[in-house]
């Protein structure tokens, strides 16, 4: 499902216009992004938790040449599914 299909589904399920559904989805993603940038967790009970994880620096390999390359440490977003998403 892509973003347009998700907007259509939200609009249909919630009885909203597509414009309102898009605005709601954009607002949700923007809010979660801002919270994660501040190192906050976003927990939606039953659905899951969005959080930030630290990846340490490591050495990788260039797949074309086989040369070792340094990969910098960085923060990445992660999602842990809640009980309602566990199948």
pLDDT tens digits for range 37-77:
999 999 999 999 999 999 999 999 999 999 999 999 999 99
Structural class in CATH, domain 41-87: few secondary structures
Q: 3-state DSSP: the chain helix, strand, coil percent, rounded to 5?
A: 35, 30, 30
Which H or E run includes 8? helix 3-14
The DSSP 8-state label assigned to residue 38 in this structure reads T
Q: How confident is the model at residue 23, as a pLDDT?
A: 97
Residue 87: the pLDDT is: 78
């Amino acid at each position: 499902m892509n973003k347009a299909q998700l907007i259509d589904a939200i609009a249909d399920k919630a009885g909203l216009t597509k414009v309102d559904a898009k605005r709601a989805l954009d607002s949700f993603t923007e809010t979660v992004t801002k919270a994660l940038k501040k190192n906050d967790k976003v927990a939606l009970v039953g659905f899951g938790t969005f959080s930030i994880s630290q990846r340490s620096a490591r050495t990788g390999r260039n797949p074309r040449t086989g040369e070792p390359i340094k990969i910098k440490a960085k923060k990445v977003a992660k999602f842990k599914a809640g009980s309602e998403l566990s199948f």
